[in-house]
């Protein structure tokens, strides 16, 4: 599956069945398998008892129906014997003692295994206990079916290389200890659920919640499909609900109320699941020995995936839905403010000292400091906000900084660094007209020295303003803006800084300060260390040097969160940013990202304390422990 970057394409089919008409049903199933294969699916699942129909009632006791089901399976096997696609269909199976509600796993004319239903519902409108026995009552571990000797047990894992499939059936998902949990800790990464669940008020929400929960706790892909409108409506309507979940996220949610057969697709990212299983040590707490499982191995190549139907957000660090956004932004703001408040409270210090440039990062840090003062019931004037204009400072950013400080009620100090830097250049013998790295870094270190001394002078602490993206790229001057006494923004990536500042401006602040925030948001990102242009505007623009932060944050998320390879990150970035950036630009930015990420670990190895706010953090004491002298060669060679 490496050729597909760990993606497998799955399909969930809802055939329009005819109750007890196995010939019709199996013809329909075979056609849907062919369609799924033509669309590049690697596996397709059908509803519970789809070969006969779920709602056959006491007809399940009929040998005629049973024989028809077996003949139907033979027909499906013959029709799909040349197709490299795993098909999972539901049928009743008699083991010589008990009738079992089963799923048959088929591939290229072979029945790989039969999985009986573990939990048999016998309440409300469900009377399965009248006809079927649970899996643990099965009298055999192998049966003869369609001329083949086939394993029959609920503890089956189908091993197709990277893709390891297991099955549970309808009610199994609703149990307090679902089979899928045991399947997952025994190695399955893709669970299929054949269901016949009815349409009643509110039930679809429960199903969705369960799929999210099962896929999250088991770090797996979960494909659920229910019988639909073809079933009998004597007492209930079957929902035709299709859900495809991955690690707590729902990729597909469809309820096709129609008298037509339907099929739905998505791609499951097995490498993403593997990454979380590696990191989550609790996942390894085995409830049942894996030795009780039988593994069925089969050769499987599958159709290469050339494009993806699933979407990837361009802003993986930023909450998407408006309803989620308000809650999440408020939570992030509280985490930052409470973290700083705790540090101030613990030290007994009442004066946070910040350098305010009129840019996004320092604006966020100041807004957090203000909130911390409010939490501690301290006066905002205790905040010492210092503007330190240098050779590249523009009137726009300086005025925005001063106005912001005034409107938020902090204490403003303005200290130019020009004379100090000019003297420093004289002392070390550096030509002031040579605007090289010495020219830039001297200014950053001078500002840090001023802030540190003011903190000592006022019994305060320097609050750092650098963000997570800058840490990843090493876009900070060592022993300059890289250093502070508490780095409150260190867990916030640049794209989230922008959205968070915007949200605070819209949802928290009032009056004139909202306009100031709006102008800061409209200002190009820049350290302003090089002289301004002839028109007095910013000449040094960070994203013209590094590439756009939206790309770097995208790379950072998928590299840090899931350990994806550079080629896979490029593959999904091309999908996410289609029409925005071409492949050459994305690839060049990706090379920049990995080069700078590896080369600048030494800065992260001694970064100040600061709060983690999400799943990605670069703290050397917590989430990211990397040697400062690691080589980037393997990652760069992929590109």
Rounded to 10 deg, the angle between the 322-347 and 494-507 helix axes is 100
Query: What is the DSSP annotation of 39-51?
Result: TT-SEEE--TTTT
Task: Work out the pLDDT band at 290, boundaries 50, 70, 90.
Answer: low
As a whole-number percent, the residues of the chain with pLDDT over 90 amount to: 88
Phi, psi angle pair for 349, to nearest 5°: -90, 140
pLDDT at 493: 98
| Spatial contact of 109 and 81, defined as CB atoms under 8 Å apart | yes
Is the pLDDT confidence value at 276 over 90? yes
pLDDT digits 0-9 by tens, 518-536:
999 999 888 777 887 767 7
Mark residue 219 as left, alpha or beta (left: phi above 0; alpha: psi -120 to 50; beta: remaining). left
pLDDT at 280: 86
Is the pLDDT confidence value at 592 over 80? yes
- Greater confidence (575 vs 540) lies with 575
Is the pLDDT confidence value at 288 over 80? no
User: Of the spans 1-10, 11-20, 292-301, which averages the highest pLDDT?
Assistant: 11-20
Task: Work out the pLDDT band at 1, boundaries 50, 70, 90.
Answer: very low
Counting other chains too, the contacts that 68-71 makes at CB distance below 8 Å and 24 or more residues apart are 68/22, 68/23, 69/22, 70/145, 70/146, 71/22, 71/23, 71/26
Task: Work out the pLDDT band at 2, boundaries 50, 70, 90.
Answer: low
Residues contacting residue 461 through CB under 8 Å, at least 6 positions apart: 343, 344, 347, 349, 351, 352, 353, 455, 485, 486
Mean pLDDT, all residues of the chain: 94
| Spatial contact of 159 and 296, defined as CB atoms under 8 Å apart | yes
pLDDT at 287: 62
pLDDT at 289: 59
Task: Work out the pLDDT band at 209, boundaries 50, 70, 90.
Answer: very high
CA distance 428 to 431: 9
pLDDT at 455: 98
- Greater confidence (323 vs 147) lies with 147
Task: Work out the pLDDT band at 179, boundaries 50, 70, 90.
Answer: very high
Is the pLDDT confidence value at 474 over 90? yes
pLDDT at 215: 96
The candidate with the shortest Cα–Cα distance to 538, out of 365, 412, 413, 359, is: 359
Task: Work out the pLDDT band at 320, boundaries 50, 70, 90.
Answer: confident
pLDDT digits 0-9 by tens, 380-429:
999 999 999 999 999 999 999 999 999 999 999 999 999 999 999 999 99
pLDDT at 158: 98
Question: In the Cβ-directed half-sphere of 168, how many Cα atoms lie within 13 Å?
Answer: 27
- Say if strands 163-169 and 190-195 run parallel, antiparallel, or are unpaired: parallel
Residues contacting residue 338 through CB under 8 Å, at least 6 positions apart: 372, 375
CA distance 298 to 86: 10
Which residues belong to the active site? 48, 117, 170
SS (H, E, C) 388-414: CCCCCCCHHHHHHHHHHHHHHCCEEEE
CB atoms within 10 A of CB 244: 27
Task: Work out the pLDDT band at 87, boundaries 50, 70, 90.
Answer: very high
pLDDT at 537: 75
Whole-prediction pTM: 0.90
Sheet strands side by side (includes 190-195): 249-254, 242-246, 221-226, 190-195, 163-169, 156-160, 294-297
Task: Work out the pLDDT band at 143, boundaries 50, 70, 90.
Answer: very high
| Spatial contact of 132 and 171, defined as CB atoms under 8 Å apart | no
List beta partners, residue 269. 7
Domains and CATH numbers, the chain: 9-279 (3.60.110.10), 322-637 (3.40.50.620)
CA distance 204 to 253: 10
């Amino acid at each position: 599956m490496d050729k597909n970057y760990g993606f497998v394409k799955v399909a969930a089919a809802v055939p329009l069945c005819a109750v007890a008409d196995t010939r019709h049903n199996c013809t329909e199933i075979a056609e849907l398998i062919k369609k799924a294969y033509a669309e590049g699916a690697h596996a397709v699942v059908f509803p519970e008892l789809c070969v006969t129909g779920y709602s056959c009632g006491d007809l399940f006791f009929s040998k005629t129906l049973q024989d028809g089901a077996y003949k139907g399976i033979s027909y499906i096997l013959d029709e799909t014997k040349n197709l490299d696609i795993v098909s999972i269909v539901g049928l009743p199976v008699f083991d010589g003692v008990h009738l079992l509600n089963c799923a048959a796993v088929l591939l290229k004319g072979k029945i790989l295994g039969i999985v009986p239903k573990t939990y048999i519902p016998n309440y409300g409108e469900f009377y399965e206990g009248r006809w079927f026995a649970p899996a643990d009552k099965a009298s055999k571990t192998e049966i003869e079916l369609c001329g083949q000797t086939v394993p029959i047990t609920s503890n089956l894992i189908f091993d197709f290389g990277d893709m390891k499939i297991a099955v549970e059936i309808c009610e199994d998902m609703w149990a307090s200890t679902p089979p899928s949990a045991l399947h997952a800790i025994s190695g399955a990464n893709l669970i299929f659920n054949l269901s016949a669940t009815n349409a009643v008020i509110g039930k679809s929400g429960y199903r969705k919640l369960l799929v999210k929960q099962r896929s999250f706790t088991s770090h797996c892909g979960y494909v659920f499909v229910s019988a639909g409108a073809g079933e009998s409506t004597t007492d209930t309507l079957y929902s035709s609900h299709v859900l495809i979940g991955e690690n707590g996220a729902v990729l597909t949610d469809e309820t096709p109320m129609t008298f037509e057969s339907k099929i739905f697709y998505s791609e499951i990212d097995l490498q993403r699941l593997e990454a979380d299983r590696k990191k989550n040590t609790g996942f390894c707490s085995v409830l049942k020995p894996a030795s009780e499982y039988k593994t069925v191995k089969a050769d499987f190549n599958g159709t290469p995936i050339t494009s993806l139907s699933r979407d990837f957000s361009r802003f993986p660090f930023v909450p998407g839905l408006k309803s989620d956004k308000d809650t999440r932004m408020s939570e992030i703001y509280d985490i930052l403010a409470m973290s700083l408040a705790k540090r101030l409270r613990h030290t007994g210090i009442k004066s946070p000292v910040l350098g305010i440039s009129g840019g996004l990062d320092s604006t966020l840090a100041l807004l957090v400091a203000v909130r911390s003062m409010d939490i501690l019931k301290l006066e905002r004037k205790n905040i010492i906000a210092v503007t330190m204009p240098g050779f590249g400072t523009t009137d726009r950013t300086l005025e925005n900084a001063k106005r912001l400080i005034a409107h938020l009620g902090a204490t403003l100090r303005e200290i130019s660094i020009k004379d100090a830097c000019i003297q420093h250049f004289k002392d070390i013998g550096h030509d002031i007209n040579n605007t090289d790295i010495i020219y830039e870094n001297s200014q950053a270190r001078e500002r840090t020295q001023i802030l540190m001394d003011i903190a000592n002078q006022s019994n305060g602490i320097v609050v750092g303003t650098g963000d997570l993206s800058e840490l990843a790229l090493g876009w900070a001057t060592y022993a300059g803006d890289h250093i502070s006494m508490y780095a409150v923004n260190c867990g916030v990536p640049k794209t989230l800084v922008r959205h968070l500042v915007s949200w605070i401006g819209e949802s928290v602040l009032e009056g004139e300060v909202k306009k100031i925030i709006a102008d800061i948001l409209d200002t190009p990102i820049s350290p302003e260390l090089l002289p301004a242009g002839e028109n007095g505007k910013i000449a040094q623009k960070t994203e013209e040097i590094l590439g756009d932060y939206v790309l770097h944050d995208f790379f950072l998320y998928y590299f840090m969160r899931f350990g994806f390879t550079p080629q896979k990150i490029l593959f999904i970035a091309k999908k996410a940013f289609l029409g925005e950036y071409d492949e050459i630009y994305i690839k060049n930015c990706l090379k920049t990202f990995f080069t700078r990420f590896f080369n600048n670990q030494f800065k992260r190895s001694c970064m100040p304390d600061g709060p983690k706010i999400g799943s990605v953090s670069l703290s050397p004491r917590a989430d990211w422990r990397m040697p400062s002298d690691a080589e980037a060669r393997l990652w760069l060679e992929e590109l």
